[in-house]
């Protein structure tokens, strides 16, 4: 039996359902403890594990100034807050350091004075999922695990494929065969082993979990592998650090929390990660307050929204139907972290129809300069609705996370714009078509 190697700053992993704490000794490579034994095989009330750090030790080893002065702009700069044994285990594909854009014209449209878009479509494989897959592959390398596998609506898979290629790691991917072509192309070009499943994302998820058990592969599945939250949280670190940069001055802090963050939600792992990132910074005393977190779902895939509305502890299964494929989920796999993120920060869940999601792609691109895939634009559609419902104030500092690039799904984009004009190659045709 080999001990699983991970960060020396991790004290334990605690079940968010029954509070049982697993010590470092409980983690071995042969039978990795992904979730708590209290309900290991359930869909929506599985015992999700949360990584607990020794913040006092972290404070001794790193300060905000150290981080600010680090020449490495990738997520490796936050190493003591990552679950890795060494920052050098990250593959040589720089993940993170995506821009936090002050989108003033977009703010004007909504009457907001401090609106930002964190454009995570500008990661190596063009989605936020690179942050988590980077951690999965680095842990696999540290522990010499031969194969990493994941189920995915497409982005987590593309991210795993890209990170694996960069690290020389074998990976197996399970995606629904309906995933957008661009995402499938990424998987194939990166050279991963691709199994397109004739079924839903949920079917792919269960099949991947069964295959990992059967063949001893390291399971990267969202909401199941507790370390994925630890990668996704780096987006919160960057938001706070970039807001700190934007508010430079005599007594400026390195990290500054916004008032509000909007993020789209499928399984709920990203919003749980955003929460964890701000919780880490708060525990270290590096930010002064917790932002309110708003989770945005499609009305066609709104299990977590409904659980939150109904004050339920766990979500009910739904039959997801949404054009925003990345957030199309029947049984959310990270419900405890997602519901905690919203409830513990005084935020809310917002559900928006697909029409509003597709329409939101246009102002985001035309006034903000950000081309988002539907799931990314959903966060902005949620903000539009929240403004109408007066859930946010005009002078609050608001960050909308774009979780994926619009190039991931150009069919959805063209659905909102229609086709361009086709003209003869003559000046007269230019005059005629433009009415000049
Ligand atoms: C672009 C994009 N946005 C949002 C999400 C939703 O993230 P989560 O399933 O962690 O809630 C995903 C997940 O695949 C995604 O790829
Ligand atoms: Zn438990």
- Residues in the chain, overall count: 436
Q: Within a domain: residue 173?
A: no
Q: Model-level pTM?
A: 0.97
Domain harbouring 309, CATH code: 3.40.50.1100
Is residue 40 predicted with pLDDT exceeding 90?
Answer: no
* pLDDT on residue 288: 97
Q: Within a domain: residue 355?
A: yes
Q: Which bound ligand lies closest to the C-alpha atom of 16?
A: 2
Q: pLDDT-derived band of residue 251, with 50, 70 and 90 as boundaries?
A: low
From CA 136, how far away is CA 83, in angstroms rounded? Answer: 10
121-146: pLDDT as tens digits: 999 999 999 999 999 999 999 999 99
Is residue 285 predicted with pLDDT exceeding 70?
Answer: yes
Mean residue pLDDT across the chain: 96
Ligand 1, residues at Cβ distance < 6 Å: 127, 129, 153, 155-156, 222, 264-270, 326-327, 373, 375-376, 403-404
From CA 249, how far away is CA 65, in angstroms rounded? Answer: 15
Q: Which ligand 1 atom minimizes the distance to the CA of 152?
A: 14
Q: Within a domain: residue 372?
A: yes
Q: Please answer whether residues 380 and 364 qualify as being in contact, where contact means their C-beta atoms are separated by less than 8 angstroms.
A: yes
Q: Within a domain: residue 266?
A: yes
Q: Within a domain: residue 193?
A: no
Ligand 1 center to 265 CA (angstroms): 6
Q: How many domains are contained in the chain? A: 1
CA-to-CA separations, 357 to 85, 260, 300, 416, in angstroms, rounded: 40, 20, 11, 10
Is residue 250 predicted with pLDDT exceeding 70?
Answer: no
* pLDDT on residue 259: 98
Which residue range forms the structural domain that includes residue 291? 100-124+229-417
Q: Which ligand 1 atom minimizes the distance to the CA of 269?
A: 10
Percent of the chain scoring above 90 in pLDDT: 96
Residue range 371-381: average pLDDT?
98
Q: Per DSSP, what are the bridge partners of residue 129?
A: none
Q: Within a domain: residue 84?
A: no
From CA 388, how far away is CA 401, in angstroms rounded? Answer: 19
Is residue 49 predicted with pLDDT exceeding 80?
Answer: yes
Q: Within a domain: residue 110?
A: yes
Ligand 2 center to 50 CA (angstroms): 11
318-343: pLDDT as tens digits: 999 999 999 999 999 999 999 999 99
HSE, side-chain direction, 13 A CA sphere, residue 150? 31
Q: Within a domain: residue 113?
A: yes
* pLDDT on residue 217: 98
- What are the two backbone dihedrals, phi and then psi, of residue 148, each rounded to the nearest 5 degrees? -110, 140
**Three-state helix/strand/coil letters over 127-196:** ECCHHHHHHHHHHHHHCCCCEEEEECCCHHHHHHHHHHHHHCCEEEEEEECCCCHHHHHHHHHHCCEEEE
């Amino acid at each position: 039996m080999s001990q699983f190697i991970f960060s020396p700053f991790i004290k334990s992993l605690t079940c968010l359902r029954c509070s049982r704490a697993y010590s470092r000794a409980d983690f071995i490579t042969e039978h990795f403890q992904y979730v708590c034994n209290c309900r290991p095989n359930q869909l929506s009330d599985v015992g999700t594990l949360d990584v607990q750090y020794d913040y006092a030790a972290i404070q001794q080893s790193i300060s905000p100034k150290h981080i600010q002065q680090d020449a490495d702009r990738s997520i490796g700069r936050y190493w003591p807050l990552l679950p890795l044994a060494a920052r050098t285990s990250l593959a040589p594909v720089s993940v993170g350091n995506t821009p936090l854009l002050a989108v003033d014209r977009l703010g004007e449209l909504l009457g907001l004075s401090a609106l930002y878009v964190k454009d995570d479509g500008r990661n190596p494989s063009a989605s936020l999922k690179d942050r988590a897959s980077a951690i999965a592959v680095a842990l696999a390398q540290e522990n010499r695990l031969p194969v990493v596998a994941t189920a995915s609506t497409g982005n987590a898979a593309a991210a795993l494929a890209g990170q694996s290629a960069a690290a020389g790691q074998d990976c197996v991917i399970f995606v629904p065969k309906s995933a957008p072509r661009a995402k499938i192309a990424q998987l194939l070009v990166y050279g991963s082993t691709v199994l397109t499943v004739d079924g839903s994302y949920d079917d792919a998820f269960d099949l991947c979990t069964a295959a990992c058990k059967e063949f001893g592969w390291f399971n990267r599945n969202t909401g199941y592998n507790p370390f994925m939250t630890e990668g996704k949280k780096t987006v919160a670190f960057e938001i706070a650090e970039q807001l700190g940069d934007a508010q430079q001055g005599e007594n400026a802090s390195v990290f500054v929390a916004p008032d509000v963050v909007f993020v789209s939600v499928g399984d709920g792992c990203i919003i749980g990660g955003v929460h964890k990132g701000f919780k880490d910074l708060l525990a270290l005393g590096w930010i002064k307050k917790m932002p309110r977190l708003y989770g945005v779902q499609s009305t066609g895939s709104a299990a977590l929204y409904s659980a939150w509305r109904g004050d339920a502890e766990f979500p009910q299964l739904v039959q997801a139907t949404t054009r925003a494929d990345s957030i199309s989920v029947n049984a959310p796999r990270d419900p405890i972290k997602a519901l905690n993120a919203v409830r513990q920060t005084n935020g809310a869940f917002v559900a928006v129809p697909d029409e509003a999601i597709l329409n939101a792609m246009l102002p985001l691109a035309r006034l903000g300069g950000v081309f988002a895939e539907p799931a990314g634009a959903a966060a902005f559609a949620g903000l539009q609705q929240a403004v109408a419902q007066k859930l946010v104030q005009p002078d609050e500092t608001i960050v909308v996370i774009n979780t994926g690039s619009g190039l991931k799904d150009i069919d959805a984009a063209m659905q909102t714009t229609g086709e361009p004009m086709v003209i003869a190659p003559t000046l007269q045709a230019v005059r005629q078509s433009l009415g000049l």
